[in-house]
Amino acid sequence: MHLSGCCVCPSDPQFVEEKGIRTEDLVIGALESAFQECDEVIGRELEASGQVGGCTALVAVSLKGKLYVANAGDSRAILVRRDEVRPLSSEFTPETERQRIQQLAFIYPELLAGEFTRLEFPRRLKGDDLGQKVLFRDHHMSGWSYKCVEKSDLKYPLIHGQGRQARLLGTLAVSRGLGDHQLRVLDTNIQLKPFLLSVPQVTVLNMDQLEPQEEDVVVMATDGLWDVLSNEQVARLVRSFLLGNREDPHRYCSCWSAWTWVSTSSSIKK
């Protein structure tokens, strides 16, 4: 099925109808595939050049009356309107994807090389805790339960820390992104890439139903901005800037330049 609704394969019509496949499902699938392919290209190029590294990715595509926002990592997009602030993405951190990460470690325990425990505890356990009852969570649990501390529980946790301080295998603060194919836990041969997803979550906003106005602005930024400013604070600053520069034909470019400076300054202050 093309975006126009035409079928590519003769067998498509019945399958499309049975599965309820919509045009936007094709765009979402294209974005997901593009992220995956991009990650593979990055991996090959890094290996060929002997370099290492990775990044998060946040993409917005306006197509046929809909806005598609694809996010893999801890960047964020919001829609700022005159009387509304609408989140357009969700951040992916070790905390938000705890169950997925723990389940992977449950299925493939060799990924932890006997150095980490997949269980989550309220704090880092010590030798004095052996035999004591403590709260814990595993991959199949959304709630908490109790267990007696065993020696294997004293290993470093797969996910450690709370909030912005949460780390995957004591190393990464994100659970989705591109690259990092060669990244390993310090002083070990344990790879982080198996736990990192390059597939984005795609949010779809129907612009026709939204009735967009000239003052509507989509703000896309990395954690350098969101670590120090809330959605509401960003929205107030954007509205204030646009209101005070109504006659400036370049106000959106100026606004972007100002936000680039704010984001950079915030990162430096951190």
How far apart CA 133 and CA 145 sit, in angstroms, is 10
Distance of CA 83 to CAs 215, 216, 255, Å? 11, 10, 19
The amino acid present at 264, given as its one-letter code, is: T
> Tens of pLDDT along the chain (270 residues)?
566 666 666 667 777 777 888 889 999 999 999 999 999 999 999 999 998 899 999 999 999 889 999 999 999 999 999 889 999 999 999 999 999 999 999 999 999 999 999 999 999 999 999 999 999 999 999 999 999 999 999 999 999 988 888 999 999 999 999 999 999 998 899 999 999 999 999 999 998 888 888 888 899 999 889 989 999 999 998 888 888 777 777 777 755 555 555 444 444 333
pLDDT of residue 263: 47
Distance separating the N- and C-terminal Cα atoms of the chain: 48
How far apart CA 53 and CA 172 sit, in angstroms, is 12
- In degrees rounded to 5, what are phi and psi of residue 202? -110, 125
Q: How would you write the chain as a 3-class SS string?
A: CCCCCCCCCCCHHHHHHHHCCCHHHHHHHHHHHHHHHHHHHHHHHHHHHCCCCEECEEEEEEECCEEEEEEECCCEEEEEECCEEEECCCCCCCCCCHHHHHHHHHHCHHHHCCCEECCECCCCCCHHHCCCEEEEECCCCCCCEEEECCHHHHCEECEECCHHHCEECCCECCCECEECCCCECCCCCCECHHHCECCCEEEEEEHHHHCCCCCCEEEEECHHHHCCCCHHHHHHHHHHHHHCCCCCCCHHHHHHHHHHHHHHHHHHHC
Q: How many CB atoms lie within 10 A of CB 257?
A: 11
Burial of 156 (0-12, 13-18, 19+ CB in 10 A): middle
